[in-house]
Chain A
Amino acid sequence: MKDSLADTLILLFRNLIPFFITLFFVLVGFVPTHLPLSHFLRPDFALICIYFWVLYRLDLFGIVSTILIGVVVDSLSGLPLGMNICVFLFVYLLTITLAGYVNTKPFVSSWLCFSLIAFLAFVLKWFLFCVYFRTLLTLPHIFMTYVSTILIYPLIARLNMFIQNRYIKTRGDIDE
């Protein structure tokens, strides 16, 4: 039996949820809160979401979504177009490589794996930035961003898990 148009649209919408959730978190990252330390503690939500969705739902969050998120982040942050795309593609490839190992392990393993991938991603971004602007960028501020990204990962991952299990789930639950 052929699916109705409504079914097709619902399926399409469901398949686009990971991309729009990532976009939502990216935009949240740009909203100024004016709270103390908010200028320094800026988690990289895009990195978290890309890692999560590529790890657990590669079928719904592919290379095109990764590139589009990179374009959005580069355009809004004022960084040269392509810099975040490179970093996100790097995360995408690393996550795919490690997915087979991490997917079967408890949540803590995926968190540790994210810490490693995020570290390498920040190093790559720092390197690209330094080469592009021909200047040596000081590390403490970037380290703060890295630490805040690692610390907020469980929260964002749980939210994404909830969305996956509640609204998308077609391949079974994610092991926690």
Chain B
Amino acid sequence: MKRRRVLFIRLSQFRIFLRKLIVTLVVISAFGLVILSKADNAHLNTTEDVVARVLNPVIRVMQLPADGVYYLYEKIRDVIRVYADNKALKSQEERVYYLEQKLQALKIENELLSEMLYYTPPEDADFVTAKVIASEGDGFSHSLIAYIANVKSVKKGQVVLYKRSVIGRIDSVHGSYVRILLISDINSKIPVVVERTRAKGILSGNNTSVMNLLYTAPKADIVKGDEIVTSGVGGIFPSGLPVGYVTRVSPSAIEVEPMEPIETVEYVKIVNYGTYEDFFDEDFDR
């Protein structure tokens, strides 16, 4: 009798094949997700929103010990600084140092908030002061997450100032938290002018601490130290807001540094100029 040829597949082999198939499908799906993100899919935005709403309060709580570390660092730095002054001024300074130490805790917070009032927005604008609870500053993304409590007037696209200069704009609002796209982020493009010569250009971030001034006229009069302000072109940023200083001018690039150090931002001012409502709606894709 002729035996029938049967293809035997062991169960373990089938499992291995199935596992590999699942992993392959997952990897392909992940790539698909990246492509789908480009199309500003509403479901993906909802996923991001849910994750941000759930985890931002956790980060806010975790920030407390980090604040303590920073407070200690500030203390140590201040002590070293005051010690140096003290050495120079000898005994006269000792009393001042003692009083400074007593006032230090209140002073740090007070200084931060009062310094923010250097810039006064126009009368038709209102602003909200928000505490920064998270920051992303690696080579791939430059953004902040700030706590705005229950303020409803904060919307996508609004201008974010530090003490007196622009540091970014609202990228997304997640309940009581907002993500701020910093001017140093590669996605940030701001129409600006050189205050001294009114030479126009586009300030572009590149995920480093230095930004690039692009699309300037070939013979534009721009020198190191020039102040860069917003031009108001496009209507998103009002004109005249300080942004940074030119730090290097070469034939290939014009580099601009932010007016204020972005990495030390603790509080920000979110200003509603009401100039961008037509530009940013719920479906606006950055």
Contact = CB atoms under 8 A, between A and B. Distances in A.
Interface in A113-130: 125-126, 128-129
Given A40-B137, A77-B141, A141-B208, A89 B48 contact: no
A106 interface: no
Taking residues whose C-beta sits less than 8 angstroms from the other chain, chain B's interface range is: 35 or more
B136 to A, nearest CB: 5
B42 to A, nearest CB: 12
A28 B139 CA distance: 18
Contacts of B262: 39
B171 interface: yes
For the complex, would chain A's binding face be called helix, strand, loop or mixed by DSSP majority? Answer: helix
Contact of B186 (A33, A44, A137): A137
Contact of A76 (B52, B139, B187, B265): B52
Interface stretch (B23-31, B78-86, B99-107, B223-231): B23-31
Contacts, number: 152
Interface in B118-171: 132-141, 143-145, 171
A89 B33 CA distance: 13
By size class, the interface of chain A is: 35 or more
B206 interface: yes
Contact of A74 (B32, B48, B58): B48
Interface of B: 22-23, 26-27, 30-38, 44, 47-48, 51-52, 55-56, 58-59, 62-63, 66, 69-70, 73, 132-141, 143-145, 171-172, 179, 181, 186-187, 206-209, 262-266
A40 B48 CA distance: 25
